């Protein structure tokens, strides 16, 4: 399952981000998106892009194309 498949308000644990490039993966990790970290899918913009998630108490927005490359497992 990928991040974009979650419903608004649903929690999941990050399972894999290996599909992302090394530099982008590092940037996300600096922002707190680490493997095994719990995230909450908050909402999507009216046209579906970008998405808003919460991770470690911080709200982040990301493009849908990026979120489709982050594998998660619901908790």
- Token couple for 74: 């619901």
User: What are the pLDDT tens digits along the chain (75 aa)?
Assistant: 999 999 999 999 999 999 999 999 999 999 999 999 999 999 999 988 999 999 999 999 999 999 999 999 999
DSSP single-letter state for residue 33: -
CATH number reported for the structural domain that contains residue 35 in this entry: 2.30.30.90
Number of domains in the chain: 1
Q: Give the alpha-carbon dihedral of 26, 29, 35, 37, to 10 degrees.
A: -170
d(CA 18, CA 70): 8
| Structural domain containing residue 20 | 3-74
Classify residue 59 as exposed, middle or buried by CB count within 10 Å of its CB (0-12, 13-18, 19+): exposed
């Amino acid at each position: 399952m990928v991040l974009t498949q979650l419903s608004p308000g649903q929690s999941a644990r990050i399972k894999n981000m290996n599909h992302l490039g090394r530099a982008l993966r590092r940037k996300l990790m600096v922002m707190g998106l680490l493997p095994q970290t719990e995230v909450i899918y908050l909402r999507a913009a009216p046209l579906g892009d970008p998405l808003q998630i919460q991770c470690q108490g911080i709200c982040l927005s990301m493009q849908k194309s990026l979120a489709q490359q982050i594998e998660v497992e619901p908790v």
